[in-house]
């Protein structure tokens, strides 16, 4: 159950990171509200997962999921250019996250 909560919290990290960018310095109300709700839920989920998972592993998985999804969304939406190098580096992050899960 902790791993599921952690993964969902990682997804919410990507949501708040994307909303933060779209809030334009907290000047747009809707993205600002999405940011606030998502960051609170994401951090709360991380805290819940850390009750039974190691802090280092939890944090690395949380950040890894959030980073990969944020960059992936930015590339898919055309906000960021796609390159082979970026895709390979994102796959390395995914491999590290999977490795941390398997090592646990």
Tens digit of each residue's pLDDT (9 = 90 or more) over 49-101? 999 999 999 999 999 999 999 999 999 999 999 999 999 999 999 999 899 88
Tokens 């609170």 belong to: 40
pLDDT band at 7 (very low <50, low <70, confident <90, very high): very high
Q: Average pLDDT for residues 10-31, to the nearest whole number?
A: 97
Rounded to 5 degrees, φ, ψ at 23 are: -75, -15
Say if CB 44 and CB 84 are below 8 A apart. Answer: no
Q: Is the pLDDT of residue 103 over 90?
A: no
Domain ranges of the chain: 2-103
Q: Which two tokens stand for residue 55?
A: 């802090």
Q: 77 vs 69, 71, 72, 83, CA distance in Å? A: 12, 10, 9, 14
Cα–Cα distance, 26 to 12 (Å, whole number): 18
For residue 102, give Cα distances in angstroms to 32, 65, 95: 36, 15, 10
């Amino acid at each position: 159950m902790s791993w599921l909560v952690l993964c969902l919290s990682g997804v919410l990290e990507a949501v708040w990171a994307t909303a933060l960018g779209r809030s334009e310095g907290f000047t747009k109300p809707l993205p600002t509200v999405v940011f606030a709700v998502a960051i609170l839920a994401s951090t709360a989920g991380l805290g819940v997962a850390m009750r039974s998972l190691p802090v280092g592993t939890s944090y690395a998985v949380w950040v890894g999921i959030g980073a990969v999804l944020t960059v992936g969304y930015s590339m898919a939406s055309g906000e960021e250019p796609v390159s082979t190098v970026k895709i390979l580096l994102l796959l390395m992050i995914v491999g590290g996250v999977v490795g941390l899960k398997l090592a646990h």
